[in-house]
């Protein structure tokens, strides 16, 4: 297997998707019987879907909270935490995953581009985002205590970026700033476990390549955008990532 040699002048930006958590037991989105199989995206992961049926959306996210709370990081998560420990500020991890497993594995130089399953905020006022690991029973939509304290009616929503919602500009700025610094030396961009379908995350490889990055993809099978990468390592990220890097 090809390996990525990382010397003192190399900065590494990693983008992960649902495939990195698959070996921890978290269902992916687009594989057969994936998460979206049972629910049309618009219904459970869009502002319109939440406005139309907050009960259904909270049931969908409560089920995912319940499932994810039983899952642990796998060898792929651990390899990325080890790489951050070796590289320090020459490493940044941008994840599309909302399961929190990169945090559990020890990554701190982490951008959770699509939010976090275990955080909630008020859909009406500026309360939150706060940690919230509650699995709400079917038929219950959590209210916002801050709103209620003012005699208003507000409900909580998952702190997740839904389709049609903008990502946090501060997150995008942090990734861009890292890429610009990386472009001044040797810049390695690695994507792992992602079908490269969802933007703007899927556009990162194009931006990195335009800035001179060496581009790598680790994926179970070649996604539609495999051609955007110079190197493609086919396999399970939990098996490939632990031996992919040679830090010199
Ligand atoms: C926005 C939270 C604008 C929900 C998610 C161009 C530019 C900008 C936007 C767009 C654009 N074109 C279209 C859009 C709109 C849209 C979009 O991209 N749509 C797609 C479907 C075409 N984008 C948006 O709406 C974004 N917002 O751009 O807003 C804007 C600007 C200003 C003002 C207002 C609006 C928001 C996107 C975020 C959506 N939220 N998640 C939730 O999680 O509940 S996206 C969702 O898909 C997940 O986060 C997931 O991570 C993400 C991507 O999926 P993947 O992670 O890649 O997972 P997938 O299952 O697809 O693939 C897994 C891969 O792993 C597979 O290839 C499989 O083979 C592989 N694999 C499996 N096992 C393993 C493995 N690989 C290795 N090892 C294994 N063991």
**Ligand 1: centre distance to CA 165 (Å):** 12
Please say if the pLDDT value at position 32 is more than 70: no
Please say if the pLDDT value at position 24 is more than 90: yes
Nearest to 220 by CA among 203, 208, 202, 232: 232
Q: How confident is the model at residue 36 (pLDDT cuts 50, 70, 90)?
A: low
CA-196 nearest atom, ligand 1? 57
Cβ 116 under 6 angstroms from ligand 1: no
The dihedral of CA 245, 84, 182, 176: what is its sign? positive
Looking at residues 55-82, what average pLDDT do you find? Answer: 96
Measured from the Cβ of residue 74, the count of other Cβ atoms closer than 10 Å reads: 23
Please give the pLDDT value at position 34.
Answer: 63
Contact 99, 131 (CB under 8 A): no
Q: Which long-range contacts (CB under 8 A, 24 or more apart) does 163-171 make?
A: 163/41, 163/42, 163/45, 163/46, 164/46, 164/47, 164/48, 165/46, 165/47, 167/113, 167/114, 167/200, 171/94, 171/111, 171/112, 171/113
Residue 215 — φ and ψ, nearest 5°? -110, 135
Catalytic residues: 114
Query: Which residues are CB-contacts of 148 (< 8 A; sequence separation ≥ 6)?
Result: 154
Please say if the pLDDT value at position 92 is more than 70: yes
Rounded distance between C-alpha atoms, residue 232 and residue 226, angstroms: 7
What is the percent of the chain where pLDDT is above 70?
97
Give helix 75-87 / helix 237-244 axis angle, nearest 10°.
Answer: 20
**Ligand 1: centre distance to CA 111 (Å):** 15
**Ligand 1: centre distance to CA 151 (Å):** 38
Q: Read off the pLDDT of residues 169-185 as tens digits, 9 standing for 90 and up.
A: 999 999 999 999 999 99
Please give the pLDDT value at position 241.
Answer: 98
Rounded distance between C-alpha atoms, residue 141 and residue 51, angstroms: 12
């Amino acid at each position: 297997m090809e390996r990525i040699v990382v010397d003192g002048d190399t900065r590494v930006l990693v983008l992960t998707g649902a495939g990195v958590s698959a070996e921890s037991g978290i269902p992916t989105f687009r594989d057969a019987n994936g998460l979206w199989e049972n629910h049309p995206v618009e219904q459970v992961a869009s502002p319109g879907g939440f406005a139309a049926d907050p009960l259904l959306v909270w049931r969908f996210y409560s089920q995912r909270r319940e499932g994810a709370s039983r899952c642990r990081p796998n060898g792929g998560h651990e390899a990325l935490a080890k790489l951050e420990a070796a590289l320090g500020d020459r490493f940044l991890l941008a994840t599309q995953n909302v399961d929190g497993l990169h945090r559990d594995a020890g990554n701190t130089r982490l951008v959770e581009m699509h939010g976090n399953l275990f955080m909630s905020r008020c859909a009406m006022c500026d309360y939150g985002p706060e940690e919230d690991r509650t699995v709400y029973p079917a038929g219950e939509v959590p209210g916002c205590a801050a709103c209620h304290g003012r005699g208003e009616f507000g409900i909580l929503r998952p702190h997740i970026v839904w389709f049609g919602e903008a990502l946090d500009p501060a997150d995008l700025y942090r990734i861009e700033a890292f890429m610009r610094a990386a472009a001044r030396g040797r810049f390695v961009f690695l994507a792992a476990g992602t079908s490269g379908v969802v933007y703007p995350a899927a556009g990162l490889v194009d931006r990195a390549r335009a800035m001179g990055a060496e581009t790598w993809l680790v994926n179970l099978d070649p996604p539609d955008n495999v051609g955007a990468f110079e190197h493609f390592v086919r396999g399970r990220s939990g098996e490939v990532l632990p031996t992919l890097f040679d830090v010199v």
